[in-house]
Amino acid sequence: MVAADKITPEESWLLRRERAVAWLRVAFAAVAVVVIQLNPERAARFPELSFISLGSFLVYGLTVLYLAWRQKTTSPSIGIVTTSLDVVWIAMIVFSTGGSRTPFFFYYSFPVITASIRWGLKGSIPVALVGVSLYIVVRLSLAAETIGPPIGIDILLVRSLYLVLLGCIFGYISEFEKRQNQRLFALSKTAAQAAALDERRRIMFELHDGILQSLATLILRLEDCGRHLSDSQKELANELRSLEDLTRDSMKQIRQFLSGQQTKPLAAGTLVEKLREEARFLRDGMGLEITVETEPDDLDLPVDAEREVYYVLREALTNVTRHSHASKVEIQLRRKNGTLEGSLSDNGVGFNPDHTKDTSGLGLTGMEQRIKQIGGELLVKSSPGQGTNLSFAISLEQ
């Protein structure tokens, strides 16, 4: 079943249409059963076939209604199957309840209408012609006629013409409605894109006047500090230049994001190298002992998976340095049987994961969303005084 918040406006419209068709089918079947109950002589010639065809049509209609309510009837193949079954069932009902004299002739209009709704003229006309052909076969089958002379050829022609014209009219109306809906969806999409662009511009100006200017000031102060260092402090000067480069890179990524460009935090195939670089920085700068283990050495991950895993583990390391007071961190990445398994464990103070759901922080939520969007699941195990273990499993065969 498709989650309600993931349904597009067009998919929502298709679902409503299929549910309306399903309800109409059930109504047709229920009315037919009631009519036969009130007028049983209509089924006197073929009573068993009549009751079987009417009863099974009602059960079939209820089944399709259930599937439509469960959002499982929008695929083209399901539409073809249900339309074909509608035509066959209605032909059985017509045959068993009086042949060409049946009161249910107008039921042929139901598959014609549903075919026009789904496929326009290219669906309604063929279904109408099939209905006409089946009706003529019933007309020519003397076994299906009640006692008395067969129905006149003029009535047969009028009814056949009625079905074909019905197919043309509803097919044209359906195609017109489809074109209008496509225009509306296109306009809606354009409006949404324009709104997103306006919001992006608003955020861009706010960031430019706030965060970007602060970063630019930070670069200037770092450069000024570097100029005041003596030659004997080369190591500290190098560290300051590294911080300048990192700040400039952050500003560049923010500007790329705001302009709609794809940011590239790391080159393909460099995930392990970047993680070990982060580990060296935290070890040298904060005394944090970090081990990075991979199996095999060359993980050979898809670009999307590599990028999201990097973001998640970098965020986890940031949380360790800010909150855990840990002295040791262990990162493990293992690719096996088309699945990437990863974990990050620390010996810090730990926390209660349930309490983080009530905070406004985006760390854990962002990590869960990143892993989920590449087909994985993130698990966090922690308790006060027991450290934290973050693990995930991602299917790479999608």
Query: How does pLDDT run along the chain (398 residues), one tens digit per residue?
Result: 444 445 666 677 778 888 888 898 898 888 888 888 887 776 667 778 888 888 888 998 899 888 888 877 667 788 888 888 888 888 888 887 776 667 777 788 888 888 888 888 888 888 888 888 887 787 777 544 554 555 666 677 777 788 888 888 888 888 887 787 777 777 767 777 777 666 666 666 555 555 666 666 677 667 777 777 666 677 677 777 777 777 777 777 676 666 655 555 567 778 899 898 888 878 877 788 999 999 988 888 888 889 889 889 988 888 888 888 889 999 999 998 889 999 999 999 988 877 665 454 557 888 888 899 888 999 999 988 889 999 999 988 76
Residue spans of alpha helices (H) in the chain:
9-38, 47-69, 76-96, 109-119, 121-140, 153-207, 213-227, 234-258, 271-286, 303-319, 353-356, 363-373
Residue-range domain boundaries for the chain: 4-190, 199-258, 271-395
pLDDT value, residue 3: 44
The residues, ordered by sequence, that sit 6+ positions from 375 with a Cβ below 8 Å of its Cβ are 394, 395, 398
CA distance 172 to 125: 10
pLDDT value, residue 2: 44
pLDDT value, residue 362: 58
Name all contacts of 102-110 with Cβ < 8 Å and 24+ positions apart. 102/42, 103/35, 103/39, 103/42, 104/32, 104/35, 105/135, 105/159, 107/28, 107/32, 108/134, 108/135, 108/163, 109/163, 109/166, 110/24, 110/25, 110/28, 110/86
pLDDT value, residue 388: 92
What is the pTM (predicted TM-score) of this model?
Answer: 0.45
Buried b / exposed e over 331-355, threshold 16 CB at 10 Å, is bebebeeeebbbbbbbbbebbeeee
The residue length of the chain stands at: 398
pLDDT value, residue 131: 82
CA distance 324 to 278: 17
pLDDT value, residue 328: 93
What is 271-395's CATH superfamily? Histidine kinase-like ATPase, C-terminal domain (3.30.565.10)
pLDDT value, residue 390: 93
pLDDT value, residue 50: 83
